[in-house]
Amino acid sequence: MAAEPTVIVVGGGYCGVTTAQYLDTFANVTLVEERDRFVHNVGLLRGLVDAGFADDLTMPYTSALARGEVVHARVVQFDGEGVELSDGRILYADFVVLATGSGYPFPAKLTGPHIYSELERLADATRDLRSAKNVLIVGAGPVGVELAGEITSAWPGKSTTIIDRADKIVPGPYSDAFRDSLASQLSDRDVRVCLGVDLIGLPLTPAGVHAPSKVESTSGEPFDFDIWFRCFGGRPDTDYLGSTIVQAVRDDGRIDVEPSLQVAGYCNVFAVGDVTSVPEAKRAGVASGHARVVAANIRAIHDGAVPRERYVPGAARIVVPLGPDGGAGFAAGVEITQREVLESKGKDLNVARVRGQLLGRTSNRGRP
């Protein structure tokens, strides 16, 4: 092998960028990302209710890597060797890291390569949401609850209903005290939470658009709304995997990885982030932990050593803000205080930290 290993990182979300930055110190890195700008999707729900906030949620990749290159293209095929791009090029490297993450219904995540047109779509949804009196949120997981919090912080009088077929909000390995705290804050905001409700079908009107209509539950209960949002149905993005490597994709759509974060059955292919089978809540917060393990193992293999670094999933952790002034959290078995919620996420949704990582500065406002 050459003096420096060559590495292609596919996907420039939180985990792909962080891994590329770790590798950039000793490897020749190419980061392939289809979008023309990085999107800090963790802040998008606040961006939906506050157009000024949305301005700071995207940033160019130009300063992301000190030495490596960022290529903007979609990877259309990878089967363990060449990485085929949407522009027809095929890239080769000693190692490939798959970091293609997961998609989620708008507006919690954006789709497509052109981020400014997605931001226009977000601004249209903001305008439609502002004029809506009744908002329906389908899904009472962390995204649905967080969206209800943002809406009721921005427009306290807006009638907001959350529906879910589950019997509790924010399912997962969290405490009842955490859920009770969220439920009582939602109640204080007059958010109607309807659990154990199965809809006959999803609304026929497009999500995120002002289009008054109604849906019915299987028991005949009607839910009227002016605008609705779909807050469930995230899925890992692996449609570019070829017929051999796709055998490492499990039934739940995630790529099977060893504790070394090598893709099962592959020595020189790694995966990080949402797309992996690592048994932990899918969070941007795991990015450094995944990146550190992958970088150490790539360095070891390149040096002719055994890749010994192992990723050990951390304890369950979640922070669900309800706007800039509320929310609840749970970490390592205990509920975390509201002050910690606001400090760790709620106030600025980590915008400054992410902008620092990508750009070394904190705001787009007033910049060309």
Ligand X SMILES: Cc1cc2nc3c(=O)[nH]c(=O)nc-3n(C[C@H](O)[C@H](O)[C@H](O)COP(=O)(O)OP(=O)(O)OC[C@H]3O[C@@H](n4cnc5c(N)ncnc54)[C@H](O)[C@@H]3O)c2cc1C
Considering beta carbons, is residue 225 or 240 the nearer one to ligand X? 240
- Under 8 Å CB-to-CB from 189, ≥6 apart: which residues? 148, 149, 152, 156, 160, 322, 326
DSSP string, 102-118: EE-STTTS--SS-HHHH
- The number of beta carbons lying within 10 Å of the beta carbon of residue 84 is 19
Considering beta carbons, is residue 109 or 302 the nearer one to ligand X? 109
Considering beta carbons, is residue 4 or 282 the nearer one to ligand X? 282
Considering beta carbons, is residue 74 or 121 the nearer one to ligand X? 74
Cβ atoms of 181 and 188 closer than 8 Å: no
Token readout for 352 is 């400054």
Considering beta carbons, is residue 189 or 254 the nearer one to ligand X? 254
Closest CB 23 distance from ligand X, rounded Å: 15
Put residue 196 in one of left, alpha, beta given phi > 0 → left and psi -120 to 50 → alpha: left
Q: How far apart are CA 80 and CA 266, in angstroms?
A: 8
Closest CB 292 distance from ligand X, rounded Å: 15
Counting Cα atoms < 13 Å in the Cβ hemisphere of 17 gives: 25
Residue 78, Cα to own-chain centre: how many angstroms? 23
Closest CB 131 distance from ligand X, rounded Å: 23
Q: How far apart are CA 5 and CA 98, in angstroms?
A: 16
Closest CB 96 distance from ligand X, rounded Å: 12
Q: How far apart are CA 196 and CA 119, in angstroms?
A: 34
Binding site for ligand X (CB under 6 A): 10-16, 32-35, 41-42, 45, 74-75, 99-102, 104, 108-109, 143, 146, 237, 240, 273-274, 282-285, 319, 345
Residue with tokens 């899925």: 235
Closest CB 74 distance from ligand X, rounded Å: 4
Considering beta carbons, is residue 104 or 225 the nearer one to ligand X? 104
Considering beta carbons, is residue 33 or 335 the nearer one to ligand X? 33
Closest CB 224 distance from ligand X, rounded Å: 25
DSSP 8-state secondary structure symbol assigned to residue 254:
P
